[in-house]
Structure 1
């Protein structure tokens, strides 16, 4: 998006908030072209200097739509490529300071016989030269709370008010109060990153100019014009937590409600949307978060786990097993390896529990 286009964002956002709906916003823009330009005028002859040939104006509109539709699809593809690239990089990079030691009694240039069939040479996975270091299993966890905001475990019998449980069940079944609540003049729902509030208005409210919404860093005020021309306040209260007011916005659905979207400054679950409101139990809501809400690193980790699960079902090596094989390929033909000069054979390698790799160094009984 060019800087020249972004310069008009404030004016266009004002129109959109005033009209309240995308369809009405487009009607304002196209109405301007109709009233103040020759956009809709048809050129009936070659001598006409105003207007467009039949069908050209419609093609211009369709071309503009397709331009940004293509940009949207391209953005989606780029995000997917970045995620895939990061996943591949994570899978391709071997562990830091990883050393593979191949132990075998067979030395280069030695004529000694190999171990009996009951004996095998083992590969130990060591870190920083510590031969006794045991491999550690790493676990990846994702949290929907920031720092200490995860609710503490509830003691048995506490916070089990049947009335509260019943209310929250009703709230969870309504998309407009999912993870939130239903109040007398408004409903609210939330995700870990934002809050949606729908404030009821009289059915005679049709225009955005008949509504005032003031979103502060930690305060919300909503009022509407009455039939007598005065202003009536619906909400005038503090918010329990701070929001990014520059990223928050509102729209009007005529005759129904004012839809307010607040972007949370910190990722946390709210117990109420207003300071004076009755609190809900965040232990009764759906605290899971969509994968798209996670950062790129977390998404890559989850994608890797899904990939490993699929590989296991297909009987193929996981990403970690593939890393081990890649390391062994490098050590297979290294100086001092009993397999130097031989093609890499993955069938002689097995990865046991704890990450210990065993290599079968037996010779073919036939001598081949």
Structure 2
């Protein structure tokens, strides 16, 4: 296998180099995520954080604070929080919840973005923790073909937009606007579009 050239743009790599690079990045991500004091998963609407607790811990022994953009979980018997920090994005705290199940604290964070039609994958839960590569995310527990038409279209659009942003290229919405402008120009050759901008 060829050696990876440092700082070589991903698009300039051979297929073999990209595969090696992706595998290396996945290993690094896995190690970083395993070192966190919790595990987490996400879907389009929610982020689920699972925190292992000492045996016998009950709900009354734990203090969980879920603000619009902050999260804190602490055992009342301890001075140090298990986790605390700023969330990657806003949540709907009234619709977020937590439970203790089999010695694990499960925190369900309801993404605000899911309610304003701008679904977004989170690269990390707390901003001071390592990120994952959201361009490689495929929805958990489902293959794209298992999703209903509308959800599948939305997920594919998100994945496309994430890839485009990562490469500094226009998103699907921006491409659509550019296309509409081009069509309009063709339909109205008499108009001057020299100052037209796509915002």
Give the TM-score category using the shorter length: 0.5 to 0.7
Determine the structure 2 residue equivalent to 1:166.
Answer: 27
Determine the structure 1 residue equivalent to 2:104.
Answer: 257
* d(CA) in 2 for partners of 1:259, 1:199: 6
* d(CA) in 2 for partners of 1:246, 1:293: 30
Q: Deviations over 1:176-219 (max 9, x none)?
A: xxxxx4343100011122111001211141x1000111001000
* d(CA) in 1 for partners of 2:138, 2:49: 18
Determine the structure 1 residue equivalent to 2:39.
Answer: 187
User: Which of 239, 257, 275 is the aligned partner of 2:127?
Assistant: 275
The answer to whether 1:155 aligns with 2:11 is yes
Compared with structure 1, are the counterparts of its residues 191 and 241 closer, same or farther at alpha carbon in structure 2 (3 Å cutoff)?
same
Secondary structure at the residue paired with 1:278? Answer: coil
Compared with structure 1, are the counterparts of its residues 167 and 291 closer, same or farther at alpha carbon in structure 2 (3 Å cutoff)?
same
Higher RCO, 1 or 2 (CA under 8 Å, sep at least 6)? 1
Name the Cα RMSD after superposition: 3.2
Q: Is the 8 A contact 1:165 1:284 kept in 2?
A: no
Instruction: Compute the displacement of 1:263 (Å).
Output: 1.0
The answer to whether 1:216 aligns with 2:71 is no
Normalised TM-score (structure 1): 0.32
User: Which of 212, 235, 239 is the aligned partner of 2:83?
Assistant: 235
- The aligned length equals 131
Secondary structure at the residue paired with 1:262? Answer: strand
The structure whose Rg is larger is 1
The answer to whether 1:225 aligns with 2:81 is no
Structure 1: unaligned runs, 5 residues or longer: 1-153, 172-180, 300-368
Structure 2: unaligned runs, 5 residues or longer: 1-9, 114-118, 155-199
Counterparts of 1:44-55 in structure 2, within 5 Å, are: none
